Amino acid sequence: MLKTDFLVIGSGIAGLTFAVKTAKRFPDKTITILTKVNTDETNTKYAQGGIAVVNDLTRDSYEKHIEDTLVSGDGLCDRDIVEMVVKEGPQRVNEIIEWGAQFDKGPGGEYMRGKEGGHSENRILHHKDITGMEIERALVEEAKRFPNIEIHNHWYVVDIITQHHLGYLVTKSTPDIECYGVYALNLHSNRMEKILAKITLMASGGVGQAYRSTTNPRIATGDGVAMAYRAKARIENMEFIQFHPTALYEPGVSPSFLVTEAVRGDGGILRNKDGEAFMPRYDARADLAPRDVVARAIDSEMKRTGTEFVYLDCRQMDKEKFIAHFPNIYKRCLDIGIDVFSKMIPVAPAAHYCCGGIKTDEHGRTSLQYLYACGECASTGLHGANRLASNSLLEALVFAHRCCEDAAQKIDGIPFRDAVPDWNASGTSEPKEMILITQSLKELQQVMSDYVGIVRNDVRLGRAMSRLDLLHDETEELYKTTTVSPQLSELRNLITTGYLVVKSAHFRKESRGLHFNTDYPKKSELLQDIVL
């Protein structure tokens, strides 16, 4: 058994920022970070475009960033949260700069600012086209400076511990459900450990692996959202899965390599197979319309022309500038035989970001006592029906700070729950056939991609649900009799994630933001969040 004051699940921007802030504030308290693979293998590491922030009020304004976020969110953002994140953002970004994160500067020492879809100004701070790698590097180095932070890699968290594990009946309507820590599989010893914590932060990232084609790395299996749902926490707006318009089209390669939207911000143009720059036909903002609009336009062009991709044309762009800003994309394209100055890049939309998640308030508090959520697994009200590009890293920084501030007020009054029993593995044995897991994963990804993609309708959602029901029943049967492994648990979590997406999509009888249902093509008058 392990005991810690603060338990952090995840070592991306959300988890590490919270850990560093908490460690600084409480040198005498312990902070334990659990990650299921290596510390830096996170969605954060793959972020390309950068971080949206207003840090020069002579060129930009909070009001414009707020307005852009609200327009992109298509009526469902929480305005107070948007204002708070935009206004607190600059201070939080300055903090990670102080901790060593470097963003590109021009010859005069001023920050270079990129542009992406839905932004009315150039405001994206970036580190070439590997911003996430730089932020992750700086945060890991900063976290390692604190002796009271312990990072346990290759510890797979399986479930959140609540009163349920003390033998009480816990339902969604139970008041004051409390989180006492987690059960986690130590993958070094292969032992299931009980970890008791006064405060737990869920910072477990995204869900992209629910789809066949995704920009998200293998770790993005919706574990945090599924665990929180099992523990009876409120989950919100899961129907809003964001598809990035321009993932490199390479059949059979997973995850898909992203071609950042900043390329379009610098002058890249989308063309269909006939060479037509089609975006102006769909939206006056053309290639820099918000992401939901561009992804839907590409989907429509692919269907109309019978192709599996469209092109991103960079041939007209300044060679020197392109290579300086996007060296990684330039090299990756060259590796597959595409010199972007003479050939167009084949691109297609891929599942990229989950705008919904574990519902939190403005302090990152979930509906469970002592459980906070931050980063991509959380639904804070910032993104509404469609996240504005590069607002995710910003949200994680602002909310990690807020979670830390709030938890700091509470920590001293919270006891450990020593009565929590050890994990009960009775009646289970080692899996006999891994194919039962791997094949179900493929089926799930197929169902989600074919029936719950960019364009939906009620028949497809109904089909998806009946197939998910079958996968759920088979997997629960297997779970009851099989020793827990990350593979089995991830499958189970992805099926739960799929279920939450389909169920929320089914309840939303309108088309808004990222959710487009041809049976209800218009927006409803009623503005509502779907909470499960």
Positions touching ligand SIN (CB under 6 A) are 48-49, 116, 260-262, 353, 389-390, 392
Q: Would you count residue 49 as binding ligand FAD (CB under 6 A)? A: yes
Among 69, 131, 209, 482, binds ligand FAD (CB under 6 A): 131
Which run of H or of E encompasses 244?
strand 241-248
Among 298, 393, 491, 530, binds ligand FAD (CB under 6 A): 393
Q: What would you measure as the largest C-alpha separation in the chain, in angstroms? A: 67
Specify the stretch interacting with ligand FAD by CB under 6 A; choose among 32-40, 300-308, 472-480, 520-528.
32-40
**Residue 286 — left, alpha, or beta (φ > 0 → left; ψ -120 to 50 → alpha)?**
left
Angle between the N-to-C axes of helices 392-410 and 79-98, in degrees from 0 to 180, rounded to the nearest 10: 90
CB-wise, 119 or 165, nearer to ligand FAD? 119
Alpha-carbon gap, residue 495 to 443, rounded angstroms:
10
Tell me phi and psi for residue 438, to 5 degrees.
-65, -40
CB of 65 to ligand FAD, least distance (A): 13
Extract the runs of DSSP E, i.e. beta strands, from 327-407: 345-354, 357-359, 371-373, 378-379
CB-wise, 13 or 312, nearer to ligand FAD? 13
Q: Mask of contacts with ligand FAD, 213-252, x by CB under 6 A?
A: --xx--x---x-----------------------------
CB of 119 to ligand FAD, least distance (A): 12
- CB-CB contact of 205 with 40 (8 Å): no
Tokens at residue 362, please?
A: 């403005």
Alpha-carbon gap, residue 471 to 441, rounded angstroms:
9
Alpha-carbon gap, residue 277 to 301, rounded angstroms:
11
Size of the site for ligand FAD (CB under 6 A): 41
CB-wise, 139 or 471, nearer to ligand FAD? 139
Among 7, 18, 30, 36, binds ligand FAD (CB under 6 A): 36
Specify the stretch interacting with ligand FAD by CB under 6 A; choose among 143-151, 283-291, 293-301, 391-399.
391-399
Three-state SS at 142: helix
Chain residues 247-306 in contact with ligand FAD, contact rule CB under 6 A: 258
Judged by beta carbon distances under 5 to 8 A according to partner kind, the member of ligand FAD, ligand SIN, none in contact with residue 31 is none
CB-wise, 258 or 344, nearer to ligand FAD? 258
CB of 38 to ligand FAD, least distance (A): 8
Three-state SS at 523: coil
Tell me phi and psi for residue 190, to 5 degrees.
60, 30
In order of 12, 48, 262, the CA distances from 42 in angstroms are 6, 13, 21
> CA angle, 402 as apex, 532 and 530 as ends, to 5°?
15
Neighbour tally for 196: CB within 10 Å: 19
CB of 48 to ligand SIN, least distance (A): 4
Nearest one of 207, 211, 166 to 417, comparing CA atoms: 166
Judged by beta carbon distances under 5 to 8 A according to partner kind, the member of ligand FAD, ligand SIN, none in contact with residue 261 is ligand SIN
Instruction: Write out the catalytic residue numbers.
Output: 291
CB of 526 to ligand FAD, least distance (A): 29
Q: Mask of contacts with ligand FAD, 395-414, x by CB under 6 A?
A: -x------------------
CB-wise, 140 or 464, nearer to ligand FAD? 140
Specify the stretch interacting with ligand FAD by CB under 6 A; choose among 3-11, 362-370, 402-410, 417-425.
3-11
CB-wise, 268 or 510, nearer to ligand FAD? 268
CB of 184 to ligand FAD, least distance (A): 7
The answer to whether the Cα torsion of 77, 64, 318, 48 is positive or negative is: negative
Distance of CA 89 to the CA centre of its chain: 18
In order of 160, 285, 511, the CA distances from 149 in angstroms are 21, 46, 45
CB-wise, 34 or 388, nearer to ligand SIN? 388
Nearest one of 72, 44, 121 to 383, comparing CA atoms: 72
CB-wise, 392 or 475, nearer to ligand SIN? 392
Angle between the N-to-C axes of helices 131-144 and 392-410, in degrees from 0 to 180, rounded to the nearest 10: 20
Alpha-carbon gap, residue 411 to 2, rounded angstroms:
17
Q: Mask of contacts with ligand FAD, 7-26, x by CB under 6 A?
A: --xxxxxxx-----------
Judged by beta carbon distances under 5 to 8 A according to partner kind, the member of ligand SIN, ligand FAD, none in contact with residue 223 is ligand FAD
Chain residues 134-173 in contact with ligand FAD, contact rule CB under 6 A: 156-157
CB of 257 to ligand FAD, least distance (A): 8
CB of 276 to ligand FAD, least distance (A): 28
CB-wise, 287 or 510, nearer to ligand FAD? 287
Specify the stretch interacting with ligand FAD by CB under 6 A; choose among 18-26, 35-43, 73-81, 101-109.
35-43
In order of 4, 7, 361, 366, 367, the CA distances from 176 in angstroms are 22, 20, 16, 11, 8
Alpha-carbon gap, residue 508 to 461, rounded angstroms:
11
Judged by beta carbon distances under 5 to 8 A according to partner kind, the member of ligand FAD, ligand SIN, none in contact with residue 134 is none
CB of 262 to ligand SIN, least distance (A): 6
Neighbour tally for 218: CB within 10 Å: 14
Question: Which residues, 6+ apart, have CB-to-CB distance to 307 below 8 Å?
Answer: 272, 273, 301
The residue ranges that bind ligand FAD (CB under 6 A) are 9-15, 34-37, 42-44, 46-51, 131-132, 156-157, 203-206, 215-216, 219, 223, 258, 353, 375-376, 390-393, 396
